[in-house]
Amino acid sequence: MRLRISVAMVLVAGGLAGGDAFAEGSQGAQERAARKYEGCTWTQDMGRFLFACVRQHHGMNAQWCHIEAMETFCSAQTAAPGAADRETGAR
């Protein structure tokens, strides 16, 4: 009986450790997106977009909505003339 419990515990622990590996991959994508747009200024339009996205998904996928808001609005900010100068502090 103890052998069965030990085997079951090893399988459960292995499953939990394997789940962490998959979760880390998705967090890596979130961190890359945050780094890509770290110089972006948060605006009211981004907040409205994020709120509408989360509301549309019934309170789920908030991180995905945040990344989508950054991709949508920050791409336009960084593409604006002088964006590189603002980031480096050049005049």
* Distance, CA of 50 to CA of 62 (rounded, Å): 8
Comparing CA positions, the residue from 10, 71, 8, 85 lying closest to residue 35 is: 71
Q: Is the pLDDT of residue 50 over 60?
A: yes
Q: Is the pLDDT of residue 91 over 50?
A: no
* Distance, CA of 64 to CA of 53 (rounded, Å): 9
- Model pLDDT, residue 10: 56
14's enclosing H/E stretch is helix 2-36
- Greater confidence (78 vs 49) lies with 49
